[in-house]
Structures are given as C-alpha cells and as structure tokens.
Amino acid sequence: MRNVNLSKWSLGAIILLAVSCAVNPFTGRNQLALVDSGTVNQLAVEEYAKVKQTSKTLSPATNQNAAMVVRVGSRIAAGITEYYRAKGLDQYLSAMKWEYMLIDEKTVNAWCMPGGKIAVYTGLLPVTLNEDGLAVVMGHEVAHAIAEHGKERMSQGLAQQMGGMALSVALSSKPAETQSLFMSAYGLGSEVGAMLPFSRSSESEADKLGLIYTAVAGYNPSEAIPLWKRMEALSGGQKPPEFLSTHPTEQNRIKELEKQMPAAMELYKASKAGKAVAPKAVVAPKEWKKGG
C-alpha cells in the first residue's frame, strides 16, 4: 500500500510540475512557476523595507558611493527599458519599481529582489574599483531578477520542502518557513549557498544578460574581465566571498564572457553614440554563443 501511495504522490508531483511551468519572455526558457508575481513582488517590497530598516544604509545625498549606486542603477533601469521597448517586451517591465541602496557592511555582495529592489554592500566596492565594474555586478544581479531565477529556485524550494504548495497557501499555512525560503532564494541569508544555490545555467544566463544590461546602460562591458580576475584573486583558492559562493569558477566565467564580448561591445558602442537599438540589432539570449 505504501508503494501505491508513493506512486500516486510521485505521479501527482510530476503532473504538478508539468502544469506549473511558464515561459520567461526575456529568456524564452520554461521555468517552474509555483510562485505568482503579484505575491512575490509584495514580499519583495516588505522584505526590502525590513533590510533597509535593520541595516546601516548610506545616503546618496551625503555619500558619493551611495550616489554612484543610484546613478548606476538608474542608468541600467533606463537602458533595459529602452532595450526591451525595441523588442516589444517593455510591458513585462511594468512591475519594476526600482530602488537602490548601499549598505555599509564589509560583505562582498550585491543582490536584486523582484521589482528591481537592489542592494550593494560597501565591501564590494574595493573589488569593483570603478563605476563600470559596479555596473557589471549590478547588471548581473538585475539579470537574475528579470530572468526570474529567484522565483524559479523559490518554486523549487516549495516543491522540495512544502510538497509543491502554491506561494499564497504556503504564506497562510507556514508563514515563517515561507519567509525563510524567500530570504534564501533571493540571497539574503547567511547560508544561501548551501540551501538554494543558483544553477550554473542560471549563473551563465545572468552573466550573458548582465553584459547586455551593462552595455545598453552606457557602461563598458569589457570591465567584466578584469573584475572577475580580481574576484579570482580575492578568493585566493580559499572559500570564495559570499557573492561567489554559488557561481562558476572565475576562469570558466572569463572564457565564456570573452566569447560574448564582441556582441556586447557593439551594443555599448551604439549606446555611447546615442543610437537607438533597432529590433534587428538586439541580441536575444538565444542568439548568444553556447558555452562548451
């Protein structure tokens, strides 16, 4: 009887996963979608406010680095909007209510919640070194949000830890567990890497999209190469900084970024020249070269 029940549960889980997939318009990839956008966006607003209240944030009115974070984030947001408007996809960005903050902590980290809620930690700035380097990192994190990688791994967490229940049901029946799941899915917990790491494919996807977002914002995407070399030197063969805990090795990342760089540089040059990106010139994710 137990085997019969287990088989029924397995069949039910397979059916649930099959019908709970959605195509992300920005990547063209099917993703597990037990998390609805409206609920997760509201969670992001609430959790971002909590982080802001409980962290030492620096004001862009009085701190140059905080002003830089806002400046870079604003340019990325504007560039992405124009880029996707040329592709007829800007309507999918209507839920993006961009916010930016610099947190005064030595942690080498940055993240972006759904809806464009971005945080950068001061510990990252000695590694990014300059505005272009910061744009590379922020573009990468925004790419995670737009590709809905957090929603994807939160859905995976709901499937694995809560039997595949929908987010709204989980919030009402297991609020504490669901909040913890959200925090770890979006990079806000100290044990994120062990709990819900991004897959290597998601990281590569964010790298590729991040180069695009850096370029269309008018920042030099080629800064990605020395940036990741500095990250590699920072890890020194030891435990990597939090920002790198679930990422591909820097050497593999650099090889792949070098393959994608010519296309990204074309977008950068067009942006610097003040040229609109025509739909035919837009590089969609599926048009990027596949890694070996």
Please list the active-site residues: 141
Question: Pairing state of beta strands 99-103 and 57-58?
Answer: antiparallel
Do residues 161 and 176 make contact, with C-beta atoms less than 8 angstroms apart?
Answer: no
Q: Give the strands of the sheet with 117-121, arranged side by side.
A: 57-58, 99-103, 117-121, 110-113
Question: Pairing state of beta strands 30-32 and 21-23?
Answer: antiparallel
Do residues 162 and 177 make contact, with C-beta atoms less than 8 angstroms apart?
Answer: yes
Query: What is the residue type of 281?
Result: A
Backbone angles phi, psi at 115, to 5 degrees: 80, 5
d(CA 287, CA 278): 16
Query: What is the residue type of 146?
Result: I
d(CA 132, CA 224): 8
